[in-house]
Amino acid sequence: MEPLVVMTEVNKHYGDLHVLKDISLTVNKGDVVVVIGPSGSGKSTLCRAINRLETIDSGSIAIEGRDLPEEGAALAKLRADVGMVFQSFNLFAHKTVLQNVTLGQTNVRKRSKKAAEERAMELLDRVGVANQVSKMPSQLSGGQQQRVAIARALAMDPKIMLFDEPTSALDPEMINEVLDVMVGLAKEGMTMVVVTHEMGFARKAADRVLFMADGRIVEDADPETFFTNPKSARAKDFLSKIL
Ligand code: ADP
Ligand code: MG
């Protein structure tokens, strides 16, 4: 197994609040890691640290053996290599769907406009929104916007995709259209870290489930083991509330 992301004794504080406590975690190539845990346990901070949207106070994070870059072009490349999909879609509001998916390709990956548009169309077709390319994000449903956000991240040919509660802001009838795209990615071997409370997704697609509480990874197990036999009282209590 080839390690893609290696976090070693990572600590992060916000003022007096210790939000990541000695987190050590290896994500291997092709792993689908689902992260669950109570609100405030540090799940988003963990994802954001891997993308260097948050700095860390101590420890190290390396991707393919290299420490995360601090700034400049190397940081832009890191953000392209580490695709991120947020709860709140975060599309560029004043750009069309097509522009949303081509901009990073031309700016960061230095592709021609034509090549970027071809790749964008291929991905928009794949996530089922190819007929919406000229629209503005606000003209799309939440589920469609989130699928565009996934296409935008994929267009950069990322090494790993991070999803932070990608379906939490969606109306129930749109959740599956987004989860189906994610299951497809997982089956194709994309390396993924997915913060979600969609346990159906975890059972279907996860190789590992991490349970976080109070800034620590309390459990790290395969889904079958985790759901049928959680070890910690915290995990048992959490599962009894969401299942
Ligand atoms: P989760 O995603 O598991 O709900 P977060 O990683 O968002 O948890 O947050 C962990 C803790 O850090 C929470 O107590 C949250 O309020 C706090 N926190 C998150 N972001 C900030 C910030 N930018 N400034 C101060 N506190 C923050
Ligand atoms: Mg969060």
Ligand 1 centroid distance, CA of 37 (Å) = 13
Ligand 1 neighbourhood includes 39 CB (under 6 angstroms)? yes
Q: How far apart are CA 162 and CA 33, in angstroms?
A: 10
pLDDT digits (tens, 9 = 90+) for 211-228: 999 999 999 999 999 999
Residue 161: HSE in the Cβ half-sphere, 13 Å Cα cutoff = 28
3-state secondary structure of 67: strand
pLDDT exceeds 90 at position 72 = no
Q: Which atom of ligand 1 is nearest to the CA of 212?
A: 3
ipTM passes above 0.85: yes
Res. 242 pLDDT band, cuts 50 70 90: confident
pLDDT digits (tens, 9 = 90+) for 1-39: 899 999 999 999 999 999 999 999 999 999 999 999 999
**pLDDT confidence of residue 99:** 98
pTM of the model: 0.96
Q: How far apart are CA 23 and CA 49, in angstroms?
A: 11
Q: How far apart are CA 113 and CA 1, in angstroms?
A: 37
Ligand 1 neighbourhood includes 119 CB (under 6 angstroms)? no
Handedness of CA 205, 163, 167, 140 (dihedral sign): negative
Mean pLDDT of all residues in 72-79:
89
- The region, left, alpha or beta by phi > 0 then psi within -120 to 50, assigned to residue 212 is beta
**pLDDT confidence of residue 243:** 76
- For residue 64, give the amino acid letter: E
Please report the domains of the chain, with CATH numbers, ordered by start residue. 3-241 (3.40.50.300)
